[in-house]
Structures are given as C-alpha cells and as structure tokens.
Structure 1
Amino acid sequence: MVLNLMWDLVTFQPRNDLQDTYKWNGNSTGKFCIRSVWHQLRPTNPKVAGASLLWHAWHIPRFSFILWLAARGRLRTMDKLHGNSHRVCVLCNGHDENHDHLFFGCSFSSSIWLDISSRAQIVWNAGNWSQAWQDIAIRCSNKNNPRHRLVGLALASSIYHIWKERNKRIFDQHFSNAQKIRDDIVNSVCGKLGGLGVGDMVPSSFLQRWTN
C-alpha cells in the first residue's frame, strides 16, 4: 500500500533508451573537478571591506601589505607600545601618534594627501582615517575598474611612504621633507603604471595626471 502511494508521487517515467549518468552537484556544469571540491570544503567568509583596494592587478605587494595593516589598525604606532612614555608624532611633533592622526590628522601627512588626492581625484568624506578608509572602500569596490585600481595604488603608496618616513625618523634619525615624500609616492605610482603597458589598458590620462 505504501509503495503504491510513493509510486503515485513520481511524476516522471524512466527512459529505458538512455544510460544512467553521474552528476556532480558541487559544480554548475555537473562535472567533477578538484577545484569544486576545494570550494566545497573550505569555509566561506564574507568579503572584507576594502579588499578591492588592497589586492588588484596593479597593486604593489609590500605597499598593499602596509595598507592592509593600517586598515585593520594593526601598525605599531606609539599608542600601541606598552610602557612607552614618548607618544608624540615624529612627523609633526604636535599630537600623540595613533592611526587616525598619523594617516589623516597630522599636518605633515595632510600636506602630502592634498597633492596626492588631487592627482588621484580622491574626495574624502570623513574626518579621520578609520572613517575615511570605510568610505573609500565602499566607493571604490570594483577591482576591475581602472579608476578604482588607481585609487588603491595611490592610497597604498601614500600610506607606505608616510609609514616609511615615520620609521626612518625614529630608528635612523633621518628626516625628509613633505615634498620628498610626495615625489617618492608619485614616482612609485608612475613606475607601476608605466610598466604595465598598453596591454593592461592603462588610460593615458592616468599617466599625464601623475607626471605633470
């Protein structure tokens, strides 16, 4: 009785003229592959905000790494060093050093941002580093967009060279002015864009803006 009821629920008839086949549900094509198994096994995490600014076809690995640390607030700024009595920013000597100050509020850094933001056409809508990062991460979230790639490259280069100058002042007692840092950032961006070539579809307007 039960089997008869179950059979009545079957809405299709078997095809005796066709052979049985296997279908792998882990792949949209129905075919098995090692890559699909890996995606089935590994945990899926939500996309990190700003990933498109960090890792894209034009990125410079060491620059992106420093930007990644800065975005997470994980750089060893003065406020994170336990027992450190000297917390004054070595770039401006006018404020305690932390991520928000060092990369956005510092007068030395601000003078650099003014020039770099103009070249990269970045408009900041926030008053501190953490808010600015969240804002730009949302507005430039397409890593395939050349405009967004340029923003990511310019941002990473700026953070890298500001952090490098900070460390040189602390550990090497070597001081460079803001113009030297701006030149280093521009040269880094120009070097990367110039090396990509026409095959990578670098708009000529990008190069003109950074070389003028």
Structure 2
Amino acid sequence: MLWAKVLIGVLAVLVQLAWTHTIDLFPSTEYCFFEDMHIGDEMTLTYQVSGGGHLDIDTRIKDPEGEMLYENLKKDTGTYDFVADKDGRYTYCFSNAFSMLSDKVLSFNVHGVLYLTDEEGLIPAERELRELANNVQLFKDEQNYLSMRERVHRNTTESTNARIKWWSIVQTGIILFICAFQIFFVKRQFEVRRSI
C-alpha cells in the first residue's frame, strides 16, 4: 500500500514536470497567477520571453500581504526561488504594460516542494524520491531555458540572413545601374557628331 502511494506521488510529480505554460502577452496587459502556500513551502518561478518586440517583460512576485518579493523589469528571462514565510496566497504577475504595439510570447514554469513533517509519515524512500524529483525539475528547467534561447538565437540568425540577402540584391541592382549608366555615358562621349 505504501509503495502505491509513492508511485502515485512520483507520477503526479512527473505530470507536473511535463507542463510548461505558454501565454501571449498583448500590448498594455498584465497577467497574474496565484499559488496558495504554507510556511516552509518552496516555490521556483522560471520564465523566458521567446517572441515579440524586444523580448522584454516586467515580472513581479508578491506575498499574501502585498509586499514585493521579486521585481524584474524589462528582462527577457529570469528565475526566482523562495521559501514561504507566511501562509496565504502568493501572486506572480507578468506585464507587457509598457509596450503599446508588440505582443510577447512567454513560457514559464512554476514548481515547488510541499514539505511534510516526520509525524506525517515521511519515509527515507519518499525523501529520496522528492530529492530526485527536484533534481529532475532543475534539469528540465535548464533544458527548457536552453531550448528557448536556441529558438531566440535561431530567429535572430534567420532575420539577419534575410536582411543580408535583401541588402545584397539591392547592392547588385545599384552596381548594374551604375555600370549601365557609365557605358551609356562613355559611349556618348565617343559618338561622332555630324554637322549639317
């Protein structure tokens, strides 16, 4: 029976690990999310802007009393870990309020560890499973971060290549025009003009 509980706990953690949230932040908007936490609970928020504008957003985390725990303004990526020191609802918000024109695509993960006391039946195997789940989550977050960075760099490279291609075409057109004009001009200089 105990192993069934452990197996269900591991499956729940793995399902949570597979879930990455992606939202579109429209111009002049802010999206807020909430987590109910108890004293001693740990939460980690990681986020990455993968498209739109200058790839920057504002991020804020507040405790249940509204005090600011974390603020990161006009950044494309961030990670924040904290341990709850109060019971209640913690708020984390992503804002694109400063942008008037561009939408942003944001991917983020929120994960945490709910601590149980030894009186609640935490056995060594469960402790090891929780530690393993935390390590897997850290690895997955790093992998998601690297995947998003690769996507951002690929988009930048494709944009740069397109600009180089069009600039080369424009330069070729200008050179052909100048050559044609020079041939026409030199040819006119050597034309024999008859006077009647």
Give the TM-score, by structure 1 length.
Answer: 0.27
Query: Larger % of strand: which?
Result: 2
Query: Larger % of helix: which?
Result: 1
Give the TM-score, by structure 2 length.
Answer: 0.28
Report which of the two structures shows the higher radius of gyration computed on alpha carbons. 2
The structure, 1 or 2, with the larger RCO (C-alpha pairs under 8 Å, 6+ apart) is 2
